[in-house]
Amino acid sequence: MKRSYTYKLAVLYLVNILIMYAISAICAFCHFSDQLTMMVEVCGEFLFVYTLNRFWIKSQIFLKSNIPFRSQISVNTVSFILVLCYLIAIVDHGTFSEKFLLSIISALLFAITEEYLFRGIILGSFLRQFNFSVFTSVIFCSLLFGMTHLMNLTYQSLTLTVGQILSATALGIIFCCIYLRTRSLLWPIGLHFVVDVSAGASSLAKGTYNIPVSPYYSIIPLLLSVCLMLFLLRKSKQSQVKASFRQN
């Protein structure tokens, strides 16, 4: 069973990356704009991931939570602070244009697709099919999420790519914690969406989609996210998480 599921997840992860490369190459050949390329990429990625999960992997995705709403709110305290900071950054950039509206649509599609893939399918599979511990599941899932940014080596330096990998891993840990404690993929999708919109606003303001992230500045957020994980997924909460995700 585990070997079969390992094969399925490996195919899902690797073929998804290859499809992203292929779509990007086709869009470049057709001279699509950056925003149109992103829209085509994310639509193709979601169609592939959803279809594979629907008919082959069949991993259950939790949207409607069985956790009291008040508890979900308290779990998301840090998320609300992050959202506020990102919203301030968006307003500060002041890039409310047609391109910005398109970037909002792209951000929503990317948030839905990536959370469906990494938190919905991969994290859920680690807990249910592989019976990994909560911490192991979160770390592995977040590392896989961060490693997808290795694709950026095709157009930027190793230093910048490492910085983006560390930043994405830190965010991945936070998204995992939120999903596990709320049992609803809608919460991490919402936070992921705001983060991507903020990044899009920054990109438009700077006139580039390649946002430099130093690995040195990424270490602190990574450490803070690990501390948040140790708090939100402390021992007294892990049995609740396991029971919640291993039931239908």
Confidence label for 152 from pLDDT (cuts 50, 70 and 90)? confident
- Give residue 88's pLDDT: 78
Q: Does residue 39 belong to any structural domain of this protein?
A: no
By C-alpha distance, which of 236, 209, 132, 220 is closest to 176?
A: 132
Residue percentage of the chain with pLDDT more than 90? 52
Range of the domain at 98: 68-245
The 10s digit of each residue's pLDDT in 80-117 is 888 888 777 666 655 556 677 778 888 899 999 999 99
Identify the sign of the CA torsion 22, 149, 120, 101. negative
- Give residue 226's pLDDT: 96
């920054």: which residue's tokens?
A: 202
Note if the pTM is more than 0.85: yes
**pLDDT: is 202 or 9 the higher one?**
9
- Give residue 13's pLDDT: 93
CB 24 within 8 A of CB 41: yes
| Cβ neighbours for 138, distance < 8 A, ≥ 6 positions apart | 123, 173, 176, 177, 180, 229, 233
| Cβ neighbours for 107, distance < 8 A, ≥ 6 positions apart | 193, 196, 197, 199, 200
CB 35 within 8 A of CB 106: yes
Q: Is the pLDDT of residue 205 over 70?
A: no
Distance (Å, rounded) from C-alpha 192 to C-alpha 170? 12
Q: Does residue 6 belong to any structural domain of this protein?
A: no
Enumerate the H helices of 94-213 as residue ranges.
98-114, 124-128, 134-147, 158-182, 186-206
Q: Does residue 17 belong to any structural domain of this protein?
A: no
53's tokens: 């999960």
Tally of domains in the chain: 1
Q: Does residue 1 belong to any structural domain of this protein?
A: no
Q: Does residue 206 belong to any structural domain of this protein?
A: yes
CB 168 within 8 A of CB 146: yes
- Give residue 212's pLDDT: 53
Q: Does residue 12 belong to any structural domain of this protein?
A: no
Residue percentage of the chain with pLDDT more than 70? 88
Q: Does residue 224 belong to any structural domain of this protein?
A: yes
> Mean pLDDT for the chain?
86
By C-alpha distance, which of 183, 186, 176, 173 is closest to 247?
A: 183
- Give residue 203's pLDDT: 61
106's tokens: 């792209």
Q: Does residue 150 belong to any structural domain of this protein?
A: yes
Three-point CA angle 126, 166, 17, nearest 5°: 60
Can you tell me the mean pLDDT for 53-73?
Answer: 92
Other CB atoms within 10 A of residue 139 CB: 19
CA 35 to centroid of chain Cα atoms: 19
Can you tell me the mean pLDDT for 198-214?
Answer: 60
CB 104 within 8 A of CB 199: no
